[in-house]
Amino acid sequence: MALIAIIDYDMGNLRNVERALLFAGADAKIVRSPAEAAGAAGVVLPGVGNFHDAMRNLDRAGFTGFLRDWTAADKPFLGICLGLQMLFESSEEAPGVPGLGILKGECRKFVSETEKVPHMGWNTVSFSSKHPCFASFTKPEWFYFVHSFYVVPADDSVIAGRTDYICDFSCAVSRGNLAATQFHPEKSQENGLTILRGFSALCKGVSQS
């Protein structure tokens, strides 16, 4: 079975992600160093919290270079919530702090005088990507969100899903074997499990090729 490594850098709902992956039929384990991820077929980067703290913790654990190399080699990768935002170059949450820069673009803060921030709860997502994580969704589906910032890709071709809250925004991206979501698959019941099963199948396919 293709092992999926869940990156632990003290900023995520790791056990929930691990349980959801295992329930979806994947072979998953939490890793705290790049060495522990050796031999994995796929990598998951979850995350909740502050952009600056997350980038600092990733760097201290030695994961920044590892993730850039991993995605440059087009190995299966799934980012969740803050794990999506850190793929980009910068965030309004932490001016001057560089992100991973794997995708070009930035993260912006929701601004509204009428709607609550953070965006918290269930919302629909419309998908446009044939990535294995998203290909089975042929109509808008419900997913669970908790976030105050959203990504603005410089290249629209990476946008895999959109939702509407305060503004119409990109809530999922894909490029090659990389996928990432602003919503939480591990909290999104059957729709979330569909995404995790798709990622697990991708990891198995790549590991066997």
119, 131, 147, 184: which is the annotated catalytic residue?
184
Cis peptide before 118 (omega within 30 of 0): yes
Is 184 marked active-site? yes
93, 131, 186, 203: which is the annotated catalytic residue?
186
Is 147 marked active-site? no
Helix 189-208 vs helix 14-23: crossing angle, to nearest 10: 70
- Residue 143 and residue 123 in contact, taking contact as beta carbons nearer than 8 Å: yes
- Residue 88 and residue 105 in contact, taking contact as beta carbons nearer than 8 Å: yes
Burial 87-102 (b: 16+ CB within 10 A, else e): bbebbebbeeeebbeb
81, 107, 171, 203: which is the annotated catalytic residue?
81
Is 203 marked active-site? no
**Token output for 197:** 């099963």
Q: Which residues are catalytic?
A: 81, 184, 186
